[in-house]
Chain A
């Protein structure tokens, strides 16, 4: 892969992939390790990409798989305490911190779906393909996650 294309891919996708990994692991260090692994696969692989969108989709799929593998790993570091994880990041408003904390409190399956839906703006079908589950399962998880967030944050976060 050409160095310039790779550097562009890193610049455009590293943070995005970090957030996807974080939605799986809830662990800062594990998420960074996952992102590094994903980009190493991109660098060492011999894939032919048509455009940036193709690279983006490929990276997303690999990141999801790497995150799943990380959670299965015996050597995985312990999940950090949510409060200490929040200290690593800066939030402009209290409501931002509340939403982040609420999302991180969701069960993993719901958390990942809601992140892919709202942050990555993927369709239910795309999420189903990515996670290798049925579309109805994605819909159920999304509905359940919204209900829990509403329970924790009230109605305003949806309508804001």
Chain B
């Protein structure tokens, strides 16, 4: 009976090109969905930004100031980037250091909020360039 049944069904066939169609489907390369990749990247960046801002707010700004920077092989601590001290005349001076340039030729410019003139900050360990305030005043 098996042979009889198989013989009867021997003429029942799929389309001649079925196998070709199947093999052709495997040739199709998977397209990269750039929109999806962009959306995912943006979402990750957004989540990270929200996380950082939240942590910074929760730590009263300590989070960002605690981020360490390394220039010219030297680790920059927050003390060196922002320094506050009292002068002999009783003024409190806040000194901000801006690191300019890159590589070995970087220099540091300082700004002060008080009246006292700030000395060249060799103590920071950098080759520093202090703005000439007298020229600016004239």
Segment of B3-11, B46-54, B64-72 engaged in the interface with chain A: B3-11
- Known contacts A10-B22, A99-B4, A157-B4: does B11 contact A35 (CB below 8 Å)? no
Q: Is the CB of B25 within 8 A of A32?
A: no
Q: Is the CB of A95 within 8 A of B12?
A: no
List of B residues within 8 angstroms of A11 by Cβ:
19
Q: Is the CB of A100 within 8 A of B4?
A: no
Label chain A's interface by main secondary structure: helix
| Set B5, B9, B13, B22: member contacting A36, Cβ < 8 A | B22
List of A residues within 8 angstroms of B4 by Cβ:
99, 157, 160
Q: Is the CB of B8 within 8 A of A96?
A: yes
Q: Which 10 A-B pairs have the closest CB atoms?
A: A118-B5, A96-B8, A99-B8, A18-B14, A90-B11, A89-B12, A91-B11, A39-B22, A160-B4, A89-B11
List of B residues within 8 angstroms of A6 by Cβ:
26
Q: Does A65 touch B at the CB level, under 8 Å?
A: no
Q: Does B18 touch A at the CB level, under 8 Å?
A: yes
Which chain A residues have a beta carbon within 8 Å of chain B's beta carbons?
3, 6-7, 10-11, 14-15, 18-19, 22, 28, 31-32, 35-36, 39-40, 43, 89-92, 95-97, 99-100, 118-119, 121, 157-158, 160
CA–CA, A134 and B15, complex, Å: 35
Which chain B residues have a beta carbon within 8 Å of chain A's beta carbons?
1-2, 4-15, 18-19, 21-23, 25-26
Q: Is the CB of B22 within 8 A of A22?
A: no
List of B residues within 8 angstroms of A160 by Cβ:
1, 4
Q: Is the CB of B12 within 8 A of A22?
A: yes
Label chain B's interface by main secondary structure: helix
| Set B8, B10, B18, B23: member contacting A35, Cβ < 8 A | B18
The interface centre, meaning the residue of B5, B7, B25 with most chain A CB atoms within 10 A of its CB, is B5
CA–CA, A90 and B8, complex, Å: 10
Q: Is the CB of B11 within 8 A of A10?
A: no
Q: Output the least CB separation between A23 and chain B (Å).
A: 10
- Can you pick out 16 interface pairs between chain A and chain B where the beta carbons lie within 8 Å of each other? A3-B26, A11-B19, A14-B19, A31-B14, A35-B18, A35-B22, A36-B21, A39-B22, A40-B22, A89-B12, A89-B13, A90-B11, A91-B11, A100-B8, A121-B2, A160-B4
List of A residues within 8 angstroms of B8 by Cβ:
91, 95-97, 99-100
Q: Is the CB of B14 within 8 A of A158?
A: no
Q: Is the CB of B22 within 8 A of A96?
A: no
CA–CA, A31 and B12, complex, Å: 12
CA–CA, A43 and B12, complex, Å: 26
Task: For the A-B complex with A14-B14, A18-B13, A35-B14 known, give 8 more contacts whose Cβ atoms are closer than 8 Å.
Answer: A15-B13, A22-B12, A28-B14, A92-B10, A96-B8, A100-B8, A119-B6, A160-B4
